[in-house]
Structure 1
């Protein structure tokens, strides 16, 4: 199992209002943007921006980070073997499979296994940025 990317979560009321300053800060456009249930999300740089009504955002606020992995099943096996537990069962979103898990020490994290097309697009973008001598 490998971690492909980790996102810090930013909770906002309005996604469109928050993106201009983040574009300037990270020097890039969002890697992805989509709606899920009644919230909107955008991944830009190392931020996952989560927007929507406070009561809807609260449904997802128990996780401290979003971690993109290449094998969700391996994550579950490793976490449970180390005393962790799945707190929100696996489900799907436009980006792939995800679940929430609590580690033995108490931290709760959202783990996502992206669809292959998204892995290719975002990791190619990350590799290009790392090679840039701008």
Structure 2
């Protein structure tokens, strides 16, 4: 469940997030356009700057899980899911502008993947907490 949620989250980031005329942009192209157009500072600028690293965090979480480091992978997955889920929710809630509007597919898939990932990560952490002697096997 954890790995499936991470995969869906990453796939969602590559689907359309922004529509402008007949052109669509994925989350990375949309973030780059927002950085160029708005030149935001503060928290928004920081969030846009680190957005590409969410995919790398998902890959790191999957690698940790596959290497048997499930608690560490679950923690990294929780952080990635919180960041991506927040971005997806904000994109879905954004009011349409005259020439630019949010595309629902990418943010919705990312948000759904983040939700599944959160559930999977919490299940992994709770299972590990309930049975701490498993790490000694």
TM-score of the pair, normalised by structure 2: 0.27
Structure showing the higher helix proportion among its residues: 2
Q: Greater strand percent: which structure?
A: 1
Higher Cα Rg, which structure: 2
Q: Indicate the structure whose relative CO is greater, using CA pairs within 8 Å and at least 6 residues apart.
A: 2
With normalisation by structure 1, the TM-score equals: 0.28
